[in-house]
Amino acid sequence: MFELFRSGRKNKTDKGITNQPVSPPSPSPPPPPPVVASRRKFQIPVMDNFKKKRLDSLDSWTSRLEQLHATYRPRSSDDGNDRWEADFSQLFIGNKFATGTDSRIYRGIYKNTAVAVKLIKVSEQEDENRERLEEQFDSEVNLLIKLSHPNVVQIIAACRKPPVYFIITEYMSQGTLKMYLHEKGPYSLTMEIVLRLALDISRGMKHIHSLGVIHRDLKSDNLLLNDEMRVKIGDFGTSCIANECRGNKCKMAGTYRWMAPEMFKEKVYTKKVDIYSFGIVLWELTTALIPFQGMTPIQAAYAACEKDMRPKLATNCSPAINKLIENCWAANPAKRLAFTDIVSILEMYEDCLNKGVPLTSSYSDQLQTEVSFSDRLKGFILPGSSIPLHA
């Protein structure tokens, strides 16, 4: 409190100035003793970097957190996977920065390290939706553990404790590739940046495909940037093992604007659906625009599938890059290159750029010819033949 008054001194009031003596204000009551919070209740740390007002603290998500923090402890097991179990005594959750259909993603601190915390809320009753989310959670955790690579988001811990499931991953401080592109503006990325980001993505996808995994939702929203502006692939909730992609898993998955035509038609598909999606992402890198802008998502998928429409290529982009984009989003999956070849092509382009020579599409044209010839040759190979083919 400011001490404003002395006896006989003029004092301003709401009604004007008086010469009446004013009594000193009554002393303020002593501050209440500090409240020691119960260790059993989930608490959010007071940090300048956290904004608690957007924490959804009034909904049922946080009430579930309080219950879990009070009851859950890491379990030990003999299968070697117990090291991925989350220890909630080491977890603090900050502001929410992303929302999905069945999940929320928060920034957090886990064992003194910045992390991203994905919360998946499932029904407490046994139903098809709960079964789907449980299967999706298990698949994503198992794949993240399996897919260790510099261009894949790293898992730190996880917990399957109904009705809330947790996946804790490394925190990607620069957000999504989509956010980055929209901040930069249309046609603003240099060829050097385009190639560097495209190589990060294609190297990560090459590793993912080498382990027999189909991502099925490759898009700029699921490509994340760290402090060094390197791209890492995330969100494996809809991913599957290629040779296990049967039944319900072969139904439509992914996001319409990046979805391959064969996926939209719910036909049998292969890892080439990710190549199509990469073609759309590579187009995004060269334009920094939204794919099929002006259309609704379902209109975009229909136009690509039924009318063979694609986004307009950038006129100021290298013809070699545009040629690669067209190859990736070809309507016929057999004409799309594999990520092994795409990495080789992009590395060659990067080498040309470093040497100051024009980018050439001759190598990609040669690879395309080899792929087409290999696909034609397959029609003449009898089942059970021992002749090796590499496409």
Give the residue numbers annotated as catalytic, written as ranges.
217
Q: Which residues lie closer than 8 Å to 208 by C-beta, 6 or more apart?
A: 147, 149, 152, 215, 233, 274
User: CA-to-CA distance for 320 and 327, rounded, in angstroms?
Assistant: 11
Taking only Cα atoms into account, the Rg of the chain, rounded to an integer number of angstroms, comes to 28
Q: Which residues lie closer than 8 Å to 46 by C-beta, 6 or more apart?
A: none
Q: Which residues lie closer than 8 Å to 144 by C-beta, 6 or more apart?
A: 152, 153, 154, 155, 167, 169, 236
User: Which tokens hold the place of 297?
Assistant: 């998502």
Maximum separation of any 2 CA atoms in the chain, in Å: 112
User: CA-to-CA distance for 131 and 125, rounded, in angstroms?
Assistant: 10
Query: Sign of the CA dihedral 375, 381, 383, 384?
Result: negative
Q: Please name which of 228, 236, 218 lies closest in space to residue 154, comparing C-alpha atoms.
A: 236
Helix-helix angle 177-184:272-287, to 10 degrees: 30
Cα dihedral value 366, 370, 371, 373, nearest 10: 130
DSSP string covering 317-342: S-HHHHHHHHHHT-SSGGGSPPHHHH
